[in-house]
Amino acid sequence: MFRRIIKLLLIFTAVAALNTECFSGGKPLKIYAVNYGKSDFQKRFVFQGDKSGGTVPFSWTCYYIEYGDRKILIDTGFNDMKMVKMFGIKDFKDPVAILKENGIEADMITDVIITHSHFDHIGNAHRFKNAAFIISRDELAELNKGKSMGEVKKFLSGNKNVTQFDESHMLYDMFNIKKIGGHTKGSSVVFFKYDGAEYCFTSDEAYVGENVTMNLPIGSSFNPGNNRKFVDMLNKGNYKLFIFHDTKYAGTKERFIKVFP
């Protein structure tokens, strides 16, 4: 009888563990939104063709992933108070500080996926000294053409830990980084599959959820046709989305939000 009770307890413990962590290929997977500020953003930039003159609540977010023993960032956020003031960002907090408060030092990050080279997606890149970086070849070229973010460019230039790709790159046979080239020339998104469901980190190819649910492309794009195709694909599919300026994060004071599982 005692052995039977012990066996049942072990079974219940294993089930509880499976309920708190998701596994893919035997590796645990957790995803957190790093919510580092909020603002109001003009609709004409968010929705193609909008002439209302209105604004939408806008969060400023990047994503942290634990996949097995890997600690991955999708984009880095930034820490430039001039840009905070320019974009009217409220309750701003350095994303690196948010990670540190949750036990994640910058030197612990193993991989950084850069979706595109706008300041809020790449501005902290130079602070992750030990990470391997993945960025599309077109986007890195666009970064190097610009006059801003000199420290980031210096850090990435000649860095042997930078992987460039043309159309797509698979990270750890799990995360499919795919160039869309709508929002910027080399902007990318990240797909992955788990337990029969499909997921997508949209970067700024979809600013907010309504870009997809209302089938409205973004209002700020390098190639509107490419963005249109991407939004159409998401709208016709059944993807679960991780969005970088999601309005729902603008309404919370939480900084480090577990979003998967």
Please enumerate in sequence order all residues whose Cβ is within 8 A of that of 81, keeping only pairs 6 or more positions apart, or say none.
92
Using one digit for the tens of pLDDT, what is the confidence trace for 42-64?
Answer: 999 999 999 999 999 999 999 99
19 pLDDT more than 80: no
The answer to whether residues 260 and 29 touch, using CB atoms and an 8 Å cutoff, is: yes
CATH topology of domain 22-260: Metallo-beta-lactamase; Chain A (3.60.15)
Residue 222 pLDDT > 80: yes
What mean pLDDT is predicted for residues 170-186?
A: 97
Tokens of 54: 């209105």
H/E element, 240: strand 239-242
Only one residue has tokens 């600690």, namely 71
| Whether the predicted pLDDT of 23 surpasses 70 | no
Q: Which two tokens stand for residue 177?
A: 């980084």
pLDDT band at 27 (very low <50, low <70, confident <90, very high): confident
Domain boundaries, the chain: 22-260
Q: Which residue has the tokens 């077109």?
A: 138
pLDDT band at 6 (very low <50, low <70, confident <90, very high): very low
Quick one: which of 101, 98, 139, 105 has its CA closest to 122? 139
Predicted pLDDT of residue 7? 41
Counting residues of the chain whose pLDDT is more than 90, the rounded percentage is: 87
